[in-house]
Amino acid sequence: MLEWTRGQAVGEIDTPALILDIAAAERNIRAMADRLIHGSVRLRPHVKTHKCPLLAHKQMAAGAIGVTAAKLGEAEVMIRAGIPEVLVSTPIVGRTKIDRLLALSRHAIVLTVVDDVGAARAISDAATRVGQKIPVLVDVDVGQRRTGVLPGEPALALARQVATMPGLVLVGLQGYEGHLQHVQSRDEREAHWRASMEKLTDTADLIRGAGFPLDIVSTGGTGTSTFALEAPGITEIQPGSYVVMDDHYGTVQGVGFEQALFVLTTVVSRTRTTDVIVDAGMKALSSDSGPPRVRGIEGAQYVFAGDEHGRIEFADQGSNLRVGDRVLLVPSHCDTTINLHDHYHVIEDDRLVEVWPISARGRIR
Amino acid sequence: MLEWTRGQAVGEIDTPALILDIAAAERNIRAMADRLIHGSVRLRPHVKTHKCPLLAHKQMAAGAIGVTAAKLGEAEVMIRAGIPEVLVSTPIVGRTKIDRLLALSRHAIVLTVVDDVGAARAISDAATRVGQKIPVLVDVDVGQRRTGVLPGEPALALARQVATMPGLVLVGLQGYEGHLQHVQSRDEREAHWRASMEKLTDTADLIRGAGFPLDIVSTGGTGTSTFALEAPGITEIQPGSYVVMDDHYGTVQGVGFEQALFVLTTVVSRTRTTDVIVDAGMKALSSDSGPPRVRGIEGAQYVFAGDEHGRIEFADQGSNLRVGDRVLLVPSHCDTTINLHDHYHVIEDDRLVEVWPISARGRIR
């Protein structure tokens, strides 16, 4: 269904189209790896953002020790594409998913997280029946109020239980500080982050002190990755957005990666002097973090105008945008925008060089 | 990748899952057709909501004269599935799309809309080169401030131009009052609607008076469909949401269709007494119209907690939801939620009876 021609100029690509500036993405992949190269913190990047095995392989080639996935469905896509090790960063619950986890674990290293004794036991029991042992991290709530047991004694109590379960191997802790990734001020973000990480590393010390070795203490997104080098006790981070970035992260101080992701759209209507209508709406751009930014047109603002349209309003009514013109938008939230598209239109030097499937799009299970 | 077993109880379906109560959807399809059966207004339902050819065929069987699609990509899916007539309700701009329109028009009746002389001429020129004539409606802005020329003289001016173009046939007007669909008060909605429709039908009269016959005057969504019977001058309506409904439409007075669409989710974490975490977040539920509603749990509120999670907060802290339990959510916006999923899990009497592909999901071009 998708029509494209190698070598097309960006302005000739049919729209709406998700655009990946691959040189910028590769610089981002390299920059994150370089950031960690001299420290002891390793990189297990989160593929829930890009959902693309080839980008995961590029991250592995740059030094990642494996990848992180939000859902088993993403892990399946990555493992089938040859990624040898995946951490599933959300609890796996229910018989169907446990069976999938066990099937997948025969072909790659699959780690996962637990925050509930019953859910952990269900995995252990199923694994024991087929003679497997699943490596798990105890998930700790370091302030996000999402998944995870409380730090300290509750985490130790769960670790003790997990350690007795024959189908599990307790390998570490996970504490994702998702609530801090977008704190704009670098100093404020770092201060909150240190407090969060202290909870996590203190908990790791407590559990180790009780006689349970922990190889992994995993945390970290794009917004806090800049602090990871100076983080004693943290063994790895799992940032995702840095590969492509988005406008929301673009407002966070000191993140330091390049925008590599865009949505190309076409002006399809101009019946007023104050605005034009483009062909990318809520089915091409996620709205959970606000509207996208219009690139390269001073004072122009994008306003969502339904499922299939956006309105670009001008500060300067003299804008010369006409029907048929292309506009590049910077998505406000990369993860949810990428998940709306089936393909990356990969550009280099403003030319279309490849179209890559977003193979894990929609893998919400 | 998708695992399911015919006859599974709803509570056994792997999650997150988009659930379609087919008996309720069929009652909705019938109810809309019945609403129109004694009047002169015909039904051309919008398939941008359900994106599923089988549901479109059910609408045709109930009396629809054809369907409406937002994008050519949706029209392609419907026509390949045997739907004989599709109105593409947004302007078609650019050579690639015009070529697709012409290719498609050889196999079905494809109508589209124009609001720009240059864009209309581009279609006419291309059609003329291959000996085709494309039926078009002049798109009129009846107050939504999206696409469409202004009513009255500007619409007449465009109609005059279109009538001279050898590759086009002027067949009607479209004026979609999208801004009125969710006005909660029935009386207020009807008053605004009458004013909007007057603009549209006055414009139709003006154009007819100038010597241009117009067979079609198309308007109407789910929220205003209830008024369509009493609408002299309107020839057809194009509602979409009524088949499945959503929580946003559920708050609009006097709409009168049943909720047939749900997202099934699983409790994956409970580490606090005040809430649980479920496995459906912004990649399973659109957030543009607010959070989904929790069905069947008094006082429970869903709060988005990232791409893959929601937090269900209880008014009554004594809720007995546990890890592994299923919860049914009513999406706030059906169109954008359906567009996140690859399949409908079709249920009857609380059992899974079919899984249907959402074939036009992601067809944003």
**pLDDT tens, position by position, A99-134:** 999 999 999 999 999 999 999 999 999 999 999 999
Out of A268, A269, A364, closest to residue B283 by CB? A364
Say whether pLDDT at A241 is over 80. Answer: yes
Q: Write the pLDDT tens digit of every residue in B270-308.
A: 999 899 999 999 999 999 999 999 999 989 999 999 999
The domain boundary residue, chosen from A243, A270, A288: A243
From A214, A243, A272, give the residue that closes a domain: A243
Same domain for A14 and A32, yes or no, is no
How many Å apart are CA A364 and CA B352, to the nearest integer?
Answer: 19
Q: Which residues of B are less than 8 Å from A279 in CB distance?
A: 90, 93, 364
The pairing of strands B17-21 and B261-269 is antiparallel
A265 in any annotated domain: yes
Q: pLDDT at position A271, please?
A: 94
DSSP H/E element including B219: strand B216-219
Strand ranges (DSSP E) for B35-83? Answer: 42-43, 67-69
B146/A311 CB distance under 8 A? yes
| Neighboring chain A residues of B178 at a CB cutoff of 8 Å | 306
Give me chain A's average pLDDT, please.
95
- Does A1 reside within a domain? no
A52, pLDDT greater than 80: yes
Please, which pLDDT band fits residue A28 given cuts at 50, 70 and 90? very high
Query: Alpha-carbon distance A345 to A230, whole Å?
Result: 37
Provide the CATH number for the domain around residue A345: 2.40.37.20
Taking contacts as CB-CB distances below 8 angstroms, the residues of chain A near B277 are 146-147
pLDDT at A136: 98
Identity of the residue in B3, B150, B267 whose CB atom sits nearest the CB atom of A271? B150
Q: Is pLDDT of B131 > 90?
A: yes
| DSSP string over B228-257 | GGG-TT--EE---GGGT--HHHHTSTT---
Query: By mean pLDDT, which of A87-91, B148-152, B193-197, B265-269 is the weakest?
Result: B193-197
Q: What pLDDT digit, counting tens, does each position of A289-334 carry?
A: 999 999 999 899 999 999 999 999 998 766 789 999 999 999 999 9
Q: How big is chain A, counted in residues? A: 365
Residue A134 resides in a domain: yes
Structural domain ending residue among the three candidates A181, A212, A243: A243
Residues B305 and B270 grouped into a single domain: yes
Q: Is residue B248 part of a domain?
A: no
| A contacts of B342 (beta carbons < 8 Å) | 362
User: What is the CATH number for A220?
Assistant: 3.20.20.10
pLDDT of residue A232: 87
Residue B26 — pLDDT band, cuts 50, 70, 90? very high
Looking at the structure of chain B, the number of domains it has is 2
| Residue A353 reports pLDDT greater than 90 | yes
Task: Name residues whose C-beta falls within 8 Å of residue B81's C-beta, 6 or more positions apart in sequence.
Answer: B53, B54, B56, B57, B359
- B14/A283 touch (CB, cutoff 8 Å), yes or no: no
CB contact under 8 A, B1 and A279: no
| CB–CB contact B269 A116 (8 Å) | yes
Nearest CA in chain A to B15: A365
| Whether A123 and A261 share a structural domain | no
- Each residue of B322-351: pLDDT tens digit? 999 999 999 999 999 999 999 999 999 999
Stronger pLDDT, A36 or A332, i.e. the higher one:
A332
Confidence at residue B230, expressed as pLDDT on a 0 to 100 scale: 72
Q: Mind telling me how many Å the CA of B12 is from chain A's nearest CA?
A: 9
What per-residue confidence (pLDDT) applies to A1?
Answer: 61
Regarding whether A284 and A233 lie in a shared domain, the answer is: no
Q: Is the pLDDT of residue A230 over 80?
A: no
Residue B278 lies in a domain: yes
CA distances from B202 to A326, A354, B112, B209, B280 (A): 35, 50, 21, 10, 47
Query: Do A208 and A71 share a structural domain?
Result: yes
Per-residue pLDDT band for A22 (boundaries 50, 70, 90) equals very high
CB contact under 8 A, A93 and B267: yes
Where does the pLDDT of residue B318 fall: very low under 50, low under 70, confident under 90, or very high at 90 and above? low
Please answer yes or no on whether A287 and B287 come within 8 Å at the CB atom: yes
Query: Is the per-residue pLDDT at B1 higher than 80?
Result: no
Q: Are residues B148 and B288 in the same domain?
A: no
Verify whether the Cβ–Cβ distance A282 to B336 is below 8 Å: yes
Based on the fold, state whether residues A39 and A141 are members of the same structural domain. yes
Q: Which of B77, B264, B307, B329 to mutate to test the interface with A (most CBs of A within 10 A)?
A: B307
Best B125, B278, B283, B325 member to test A by mutation, with max A CBs in 10 Å, is: B283
Half-sphere exposure of B209 (CA within 13 A, CB side): 11
In a domain, B1, yes or no: no
Whole-angstrom Cα distance, residue A33 to residue A65?
11
Mean pLDDT calculated for residue range B208-220: 96
**Which of A92, A269, A329, A358 should be substituted to probe chain B, the one whose Cβ sees the most B Cβ atoms within 10 Å?**
A269
Determine phi and psi for A279, rounding to 5 degrees: -90, 20
Q: How far apart are CA B163 and CA B160, in angstroms?
A: 5
Residue B177 has pLDDT above 90, yes or no: no
Whole-number Å distance between alpha carbons of B18 and A363: 13
Cis peptide bond upstream of B135, omega within 30? no
Strands (E), A185-295: 216-219, 236-237, 261-269, 275-278, 293-294
**Which of B146, B271, B279 lies at the smallest CB-CB distance from A305?**
B146
pLDDT of A54 above 70: yes
Q: Are residues B303 and B164 in the same domain?
A: no
Instruction: Determine, yes or no, domain membership for A200.
Output: yes
pLDDT at A226: 85
Tell me the pLDDT band of B315, cut-offs 50, 70 and 90.
Answer: confident
Taking an 8 Å cut-off on Cβ atoms, the answer to whether B288 and A304 are in contact is yes
Residue B105's Cα: distance from chain center in Å? 22
pLDDT over 90 at B175, yes or no: yes
Task: Decide which of B106 and B320 is more confident.
Answer: B106
- CB–CB of B15 and A323 under 8 A? no
**Which residues make Cβ contacts (< 8 Å) with residue B226, sequence separation at least 6?**
B35, B186, B254, B255, B256
> Which of B116, B267, B282 is closest, CB to CB, to A336?
B282
Question: Residue A154: its chain B contacts at CB < 8 A?
Answer: 271
**B131 and B209 inside one domain:** yes
Interface test with A, best of B279, B302, B312 (most A CBs within 10 A): B279
Residue A277 has pLDDT above 90, yes or no: yes
Give the pLDDT confidence of B38-80 residue by residue, as tens digits: 888 999 999 999 999 999 999 999 999 999 999 999 999 999 9
Beta bridge partners of B303: B311
> Quick check: is B365 in a domain?
no
Question: Are A81 and A200 contained in the same domain?
Answer: yes
Instruction: Test B14 with A94 for CB contact under 8 angstroms.
Output: yes
Task: Give CA–CA dist B109/B84, Å, rounded.
Answer: 6
Q: For residue B152, what pLDDT is reported?
A: 97
Which whole-number Å values give the CA distances from A125 to A83, A109, A119, B271, B298, in the listed order? Answer: 27, 19, 10, 22, 35
pLDDT, tens digit, 9 for 90 and up, residues B97-108: 999 999 999 999
Strands B85-88, B109-114: pairing kind:
parallel
A196 and A313 belong to one structural domain: no
The whole-number pLDDT of residue A316 equals: 76
The answer to whether the Cβ–Cβ distance between B306 and A146 falls below 8 Å is: yes
Q: Which residues of B touch A336 (CB under 8 A)?
A: 282-283, 307
How close, in Å, is residue A20 to chain B by CA atoms?
18
B103 and B142 co-located in one domain: yes
Q: How far apart are CA A264 and CA A309, in angstroms?
A: 13
Mean pLDDT of chain B: 95
User: A175: domain range?
Assistant: 22-243
At residue A178, the pLDDT reads 87
Whether residue B269 and residue A341 make contact (CB cut-off 8 A), yes or no, is: no
